[in-house]
């Protein structure tokens, strides 16, 4: 991989997509609640459920624990497929944060990265990509997080073919960010947000819009596209 290729690609992506901001709460507890407010999870559904939760119930552990399960389910209903289950999950999250961490969940994540990841992954539907995202955007560890729904973007750009498994594709994208994006919160949050935006708008999983792509001249996938077929198949349902 040529030196400084990733920073160059990110600059081109930013010129095209503009500066990006996270559209989710960045405090770890709030993110986990937000993530469970939409199902199947998407930014739009989670935002809709999160807004309804805050309007009708409140999102603090105390407010969620005090709410009747039926009222919680009713608040979430427009944004989730199984509102009773979603309400139960919110109760579990709130109880754990209240009982195990005394309401100060952030403090439990400060320390060795492996330990923080382990704590986060004890929550339902949080895997490594979600744990990395939480730690990066909460300003706890500037980990090389990769958007869980499009780790293939950077791998296509750099290597052409995404890998045969989700895990390998994720790791390859993470290694590229680790190698070429400075280990600061600003730089790694910017990389995450731009790759996410590009994956959602242009470099879609099954039908990338290469003809409209601002980085196609530097894209290994585009260069070798003739006869290309992806070998990866994944559809993650975790953060
Ligand atoms: S040229 Fe195509 S494959 Fe390459 S980044 Fe752009 S959309 Fe994705």
Ligand 1 contact, 156 CB (< 6 A): yes
Per-residue pLDDT reduced to its tens digit, 26-38: 999 999 999 999 9
Listed in sequence order, the residues at least 6 apart from 140 whose beta carbon sits closer than 8 Å to its beta carbon are 28, 106, 109, 110, 116, 134
CA of 216 to the centre of ligand 1 (A): 6
CA of 21 to the centre of ligand 1 (A): 22
Q: Cα dihedral angle (56, 58, 61, 67), rounded to 10 degrees?
A: -20
Ligand 1 contact, 222 CB (< 6 A): yes
Res 239: pLDDT = 57
Res 224: pLDDT = 85
Residues of the chain with pLDDT under 70: 225-239
At residue 39, what are phi and psi to the nearest 5 degrees? -150, 130
Cβ-in-10-Å burial (0-12, 13-18, 19+) of 180 comes to: buried
CA of 31 to the centre of ligand 1 (A): 30
Per-residue pLDDT reduced to its tens digit, 145-195: 999 999 999 999 999 988 889 999 999 999 999 999 999 999 999 999 999
Q: Does residue 40 have a cis bond before it (omega within 30 degrees)?
A: yes
Ligand 1 contact, 208 CB (< 6 A): yes
CA of 203 to the centre of ligand 1 (A): 5
Atom of ligand 1 nearest to the CA of 208: 7
Q: Is 0.85 surpassed by the pTM of this model? A: yes
Ligand 1 contact, 127 CB (< 6 A): no
**Which residues are bridge partners to 80 per DSSP?**
39
């Amino acid at each position: 991989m040529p030196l400084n290729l990733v920073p160059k690609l990110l600059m081109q992506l930013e010129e095209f997509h503009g500066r990006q901001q996270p559209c989710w709460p960045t405090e770890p507890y709030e993110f986990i609640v937000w993530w469970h407010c939409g199902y199947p999870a998407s930014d739009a559904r989670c935002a809709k459920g999160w807004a309804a939760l805050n309007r009708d119930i409140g999102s603090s552990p105390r407010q969620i624990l005090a709410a009747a399960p039926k009222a919680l389910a009713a608040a979430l209903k427009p944004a989730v497929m199984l509102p009773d289950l979603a309400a139960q999950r919110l109760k579990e999250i709130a109880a754990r944060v209240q009982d195990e961490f005394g309401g100060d969940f952030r403090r439990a994540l400060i320390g060795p990265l492996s330990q923080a990841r382990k704590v986060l992954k004890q929550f339902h539907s949080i895997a490594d990509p979600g744990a990395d995202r939480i730690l990066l955007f909460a300003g706890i560890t500037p980990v090389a997080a990769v958007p869980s729904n499009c780790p293939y973007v950077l791998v296509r750009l750099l290597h052409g073919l995404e890998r045969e498994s989700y895990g390998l594709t994720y790791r390859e994208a993470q290694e590229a960010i680790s190698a070429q994006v400075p280990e600061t919160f600003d730089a790694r949050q910017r990389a995450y947000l731009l790759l996410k935006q590009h994956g959602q708008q242009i470099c879609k999983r099954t039908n990338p819009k290469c003809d409209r792509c601002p980085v196609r001249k530097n894209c290994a996938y585009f260069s070798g596209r003739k006869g290309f077929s992806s070998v990866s198949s994944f559809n993650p349902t975790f953060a």
